[in-house]
Structure 1
C-alpha cells in the first residue's frame, strides 16, 4: 500500500492525540481517582498505537502498546497512579513527540524506547515505585500478570487441586509477528496445541475476543498440563508467524500470591463501591462545578457523542488556503478597478451590478479571512505541560491559568508567535515566581500563579502574561542598564517606571545573578521584541515590586488584507495601515517648531515629533517646504506618537499586502511591502513602527 498519501493525515492526527494525551495527563495528575479521564487517555493511546502500526512506525506502536497496558490496569482499578507512573508516562509522551517530529522532518520515526518499555513492563508486573531490585523483580514474576489477568476463586481452586495431583501449571504469554495477516487463525492453532496437551483455565483476552481477532499482537493464558515446559514451548513455537512464547511456572508459592492478589482486589473493589455510594451526592455537585470551569476542549473530549453524528470539520491543506487567499487578492484588485470604471461610465445597470458584486465579495472576504483564522489554543496548548515540567525542575509550585484560548488569530501570526510566548512564560516561572520558602516568608501562597490571557480589541488581539512574583527591581535594572551602556546615568534619572521596565528588552541586557539553562530575564528578550515588531505588533511591560509583572503583547488580527489610508505625494501613492493612525488633519508651517535640531508640534497638551514623508522617501515630485499649510497623519506605535506630513489624502481602502521580494526586502527602511491599486498602480506600504523608530 502506498503510505505517502496518508502521511499528512497521520501527522495531523498524531499531533492531535499527543496534545490530548498531554492535556488529560495534566488533568489526571490533579484528579488521580477520576477513571473517566483515564478512559480518554487510553482511547487516545490506543488510536495512536493503531495508526502507528498501520503506517509501519514500530517504535511508536511498541511504546504506545506498553503505555496502553499500564493505563488498562488503571482504568480497571487494578493499579493506582503515583508520581513514578506519572513521570514515566510524561517521559513516554516526550519520546512519542520526538519520534513524530522526526517523521515530520522526513526521518524514519525510530527512537530509543527500550528503557521506557522496560520501565512500563515493570510497572505492569508490580514495580509501581520504580524499585528495580532483584527481590522486587522476583516478587513481580511470582504474580506475573496477576493484575492484568485476575483469577476467580473457582479458577484458583482448579489450579491448586491440579498442583496437588501432580500436574504442572503455567502462565503462558504468546505474541504473533507484527506482519501477521491472520492473527485469529494463528491463535486458534496455538489453542489447538494447548488443548491437545492439557486444559486452559483462563485466557486474556477472552477466547471469544481472540476468535474475533479483538487483540493486538499477543494473548496470555493460565494453563494446566502434564507436558514438560520445553516440549510445550517447542510445539507452540512451531506454529507459523508466532514471534515469541514465554512460560512462567505457577508453583504453590506463586499460587499463594495469586490468592492474596484476588483477596486484595475484592477488598479494594468493595471499599471503592462503599466509598462511591457514600460520596455519590458530593461527586455529583463537584461534577457540575468542574463542567462550568473546565476548558471547552476538555469538556468536549469527555462528553459522549451520538453514534450517528457526522463530523463537523474537515482538514484542509494550508497551501490550498494560501492559494485561495492569493486568488481572492487578485479578485479584490479587479473589484476596486471595476468600481472606478463604473463611476466613470455612470450606467445604472453597471453600477448596480458592481455594487452587488462588491457586497458579495465583501462577504467572501470575511469567509476567506475566517478560514485562515486559528484559535490561539493551538499555541497555548503546549504551555501547561511546559510549566509543570519547569516548576518541577525548579522545585516551585506554579498554577497556569489560561483564559481566552478560543481567541482567533491569522495563521501567519500564529506560526510566529509561539517562540516569543515560550520565552516570556519561561521567564515568568524561572525569574518572576519566587521559591516556595521565599513566598511563605513574604506571606504569599506557596503556589505561584501565571495568567495567560488572550482577547480581541478592535482590529487587534492582545495576549497577556501576568505572574504574582517578585516584580521588576527598578534600581537593579537601572544599575545593569548603565553598566551595559544601554543608558547613561544622566538619562536614567529622567526615566519613568514603564520606560525602566522596557530596558529589559535591550540587546544583551540581563539582571540574572546567574545564567540558568532555562532562561535569564532579559537574555533574548530583545529577540522577543523584534519578533513581535516584525509581526506588526508591540509589547509593553507593567510591574510592581513584590506583586508581579505583566507583559502585554498587541498583534494585528491578520497580515494578508488590511484597511489602509491611501495618500498622495506628487504622482506617487503610499498606504498607511489604518490600525496605526490616531487621526488625520492639517497643520500650518508656522506651528512647526525646532527643538535641538528636531521638528516638533503641540498636539493635545503634549509635544510630538514631526516627520516629512517626502524627505524620508526622497520624493522628487513633492516638497512640503513650499507649502504654508499641509496635511498630516498622527500615527502611534505603543505609547509613542508622531506626525507625518503628506501632500493629499486619497481615502480609505482595503488593500492586499504583497511582499517586496528578496532584492528589496530590508533595503527600503520605512517601507514594509506593496499593494496593487484598482487602477493597476503600485502603492508602497509605510511601516509606522520603523518610521517612529
Structure 2
C-alpha cells in the first residue's frame, strides 16, 4: 500500500480527532462524572491510535495507547478523574499535536515522551492517588537543578526573561553542573577553560558562584551555569569532558515549565501552552460556546446530536485554482459587457446579460466555497485560556458567541495570531487576580467575551473583558515619556485617541515583563496585521470596569466592489468599502491650515489629498482645474478627501498582487485587469490618511 497517498487524509483526520479530544477533555473537566464524554474521548483516542499504527508512526500510536488505557479505566468506573490525570492527558495531547505537526513538516513524528508515559503508567497502578503520583512522577528538568539552602531564586527577572525568549525563539537553554577533580591544583584555570568552551558554544547568562569569585578561586570544586547554546547537549558535554581534570559535567535541557518552577513564576509555564500553531480544523459551528478554565466549564449543556451531512474534503489548492479561473472569467465578462454596449446588437446584449446573471450566481457559490466559520480559529482558544488561567491562578470564563460566522479562508489564515495577542493581553493584564476582584467588589471569576458577527460587507470580532480597564492617565504619561506624543499634542487628545496610543510600536504600560503579554506589548503587531488585511481595530475602555477590542475585517480579499477613477490617461480603483461619498469642490472652497490643504465636510475640517502628487501622475494636475471631483475616504474614525480627475463608475474587480518584485509601493495595495484589458492599480486608502 502506498502510504504517501493516504498521508494527507491521515493529517486531516488526526487534526480533527485532536481538536475533538481537546474540546471533550475541557467538557469533562467541568463534568468529571459524565461517562458519555469519556466514551467520546476514548473513541477518538482509539481511532487515532489505529490510524497512527497503520501509517507506521509508532511513537504517536504508543503514546495514544497509554492514554487510551487510562481512559478505559475511567469509562469502566475503575478510576476517578482528578487534576493530575487531567494535566497529564493535556500534556499528552500537546505532545501528540507536536508529533502531528512534525509529520506535516515532513518529519518522522518521533518525540521523547518518556515523562508523560511514566506519569500515565503511574496513574494505571492499582494504588494510584494524585499525591502519590506527584511524589513518584519522573524527575523533571527543574528538579534536576538544585537551589541553595536558603531557597532563593537562581535567576532574576531579567535573566529569566532572556532564557524564556530564547526558548520561545527555538534556541536551546541548558543548566550545567561542572565538577573539577578534588586534587586539581589550578582549579580556576580549569574553570576558565570551561567558560572559554561555553562562550564559543553560546552565551552564558548566569554562573553560581559568580565569574569573579570563580576567577579568584572562591569556590569549592564545582560550579553551575545557565546558558543559551547553539550546539547540542552531547557536543557540549564532550567538549567540556575533553578538558583535563574535569571530573564530571551534568547538563540539563530546560523548557518553559522547568524555568517556571525554578523561578516560582507560574506565568512562565503558559508560554508552552499558547505556542500551538493555528490549525485548519473542521469546524463544529455553535451559536454559544463557553469555557471556564478555573471551573473547567467548557461547554455548558451537552450539544444536540449533529445533523448528518454529506461532505467531501477538497484540497485548498484546488479551491484557489477554481478562484483564479473564475477571476479570469469575470474579467472576460466585463470585457464582453463593454463590447456589447458598443456593438448594440440585441441578441448579443441579451446573451451577455444572461451570462452576467449566471456568472453572478457562480461568483456567489465560489466565494461561499472559500468561506470558513471562524470557529476553525476560535476552537483552540478554550484550551489556551484554561492553561493560562491555571498558570496565573485566575478564575476565568471564556464565553464565545457567533462561532458560525464565516470569513474568507485567506482572512481566517491570518487572523489567528492577532486574536491570540488580544486574548493573552486580556488574561494577563486585563483581568485582575481573584483577590483584586474581590477587593474591587467584583465576582471572583472574570469573564472574557469572544464575539463574531456580520455587519454589511464586514465581519466584526470583539474581545471584551470585565477587568481593570485602561488607565488613560498612565497611558498618556508613558506616551509622552516614550516620545509617542508631545505634551502639547497630549493635551488635545480625546479619550478614544488616548486609548489608541496603546497600539503604538513598542508601547507598554506594564510594570514588569511578562512572557504572556503586557498591556500594549504586541498590540502594534495586531494593528499592522489587521490593517494589512484591509481591516481596522478600535478599543473602548472604562477604567475599573474593563475593555473591548473590536476588529473589523472584510468578508473576502479576492473579489471586491470598487470605484474606478481616472488621473489623466491612467485608471485606478478605490475599494467601495472605504468610500464615504463622492462630490465636487471648487478652488475657493480649499482652506489652508498651517500649510496643509483642508476642506469643510459635514461640519468638520478634513485634510485634502492630491492623488496626482502621491502617485506622481505624468499628465494630470488638479491645480489647473477650477473644479475638482473628490472621493471622501475613511480609515477608522479618520476621514480625508482625495482629489481625482474623473469618475468612471462602479465595478466588481479581481484583486491581483503586485508580486515579489514590486514591494513597498506607496498607496498601492494591488492591481486588477479591466474589461478593456488594461491594468488598473488599486489605491490603498489607509495609506492616504496619516
Higher gyration radius (CA): 1
Residue 100 (structure 2) aligns with: 100
Q: Are 2:64 and 1:67 equivalent residues in the alignment? A: no
Residue 565 (structure 1) aligns with: 563
Match of 2:581 among 583, 589, 614: 583
CA contact (8 A) 1:439 1:445 kept: yes
TM-score by length of 2: 0.75
Q: Are 2:443 and 1:445 equivalent residues in the alignment? A: yes
Gaps of 5+ in 1: 138-290
Residue by residue over 1:288-307, the C-alpha shift from the partner in whole angstroms, topping out at 9 and shown as x without a partner, is: xxx9966899799965679x
Residue by residue over 1:192-246, the C-alpha shift from the partner in whole angstroms, topping out at 9 and shown as x without a partner, is: xxxxxxxxxxxxxxxxxxxxxxxxxxxxxxxxxxxxxxxxxxxxxxxxxxxxxxx
Moved more, 584-593 or 676-685: 584-593
CA contact (8 A) 1:84 1:128 kept: no
CA apart distance, 1:136: 12
CA contact (8 A) 2:289 2:300 kept: yes
Match of 1:679 among 676, 681, 684: 676
Partners of 1:522 and 1:595 in 2: how far apart? 33
Residue 282 (structure 2) aligns with: none
CA contact (8 A) 1:36 1:302 kept: no
Matches within 5 A, 1:456-467: 456-467=454-465
Give the length in aligned residue pairs. Answer: 536
Partners of 2:525 and 2:117 in 1: how far apart? 40
Residue 322 (structure 1) aligns with: 320
Aligned partner of residue 444 in structure 1, secondary structure? coil
CA apart distance, 1:336: 0.4
Partners of 1:581 and 1:665 in 2: how far apart? 25
Q: Which has the higher helix share?
A: 1
Partners of 1:581 and 1:366 in 2: how far apart? 23
CA contact (8 A) 1:587 1:629 kept: yes
Q: Are 2:391 and 1:361 equivalent residues in the alignment? A: no
Q: Are 2:58 and 1:58 equivalent residues in the alignment? A: yes
Partners of 2:69 and 2:8 in 1: how far apart? 28
Partners of 2:556 and 2:511 in 1: how far apart? 40
Residue by residue over 1:373-410, the C-alpha shift from the partner in whole angstroms, topping out at 9 and shown as x without a partner, is: 11110111111000010011001001110011111111
TM-score by length of 1: 0.75
CA contact (8 A) 1:123 1:130 kept: no
Matches within 5 A, 1:321-470: 321-470=319-468
Q: Give the 3 Å change call, closer, same or farther, for CA 115–305 of structure 1 in structure 2.
A: same
CA contact (8 A) 2:332 2:675 kept: yes
CA apart distance, 1:128: 3.6
Partners of 1:336 and 1:342 in 2: how far apart? 10
Q: Are 2:671 and 1:670 equivalent residues in the alignment? A: no
Matches within 5 A, 1:528-547: 528-547=526-545
Partners of 2:461 and 2:287 in 1: how far apart? 23
Partners of 1:130 and 1:5 in 2: how far apart? 47
Residue by residue over 1:434-487, the C-alpha shift from the partner in whole angstroms, topping out at 9 and shown as x without a partner, is: 000000011100000000001111111101000000000111111111111111
* Superposition misfits of 4+ residues, deviation over 3 angstroms: 132-137, 291-306
Moved more, 457-466 or 519-528: 519-528
Moved more, 540-549 or 344-353: 344-353
Residue 593 (structure 1) aligns with: 591
Moved more, 430-439 or 66-75: 66-75
Match of 1:628 among 620, 626, 629: 626
Q: Give the 3 Å change call, closer, same or farther, for CA 305–475 of structure 1 in structure 2.
A: closer
Partners of 1:292 and 1:690 in 2: how far apart? 37
Query: Relative contact order (alpha carbons < 8 A, sep ≥ 6): 1 or 2 greater?
Result: 2
CA apart distance, 1:39: 1.1
Give the aligned CA root-mean-square deviation in angstroms: 2.1
Moved more, 594-603 or 68-77: 68-77
CA apart distance, 1:588: 1.1
CA contact (8 A) 2:288 2:399 kept: no
Q: Give the 3 Å change call, closer, same or farther, for CA 106–133 of structure 1 in structure 2.
A: closer
Partners of 1:133 and 1:81 in 2: how far apart? 15
Q: Are 2:127 and 1:129 equivalent residues in the alignment? A: no
Partners of 1:51 and 1:638 in 2: how far apart? 49
Residue 113 (structure 2) aligns with: 113
CA contact (8 A) 2:656 2:670 kept: yes
Aligned partner of residue 343 in structure 1, secondary structure? helix
Partners of 1:120 and 1:551 in 2: how far apart? 41
CA contact (8 A) 1:40 1:301 kept: no
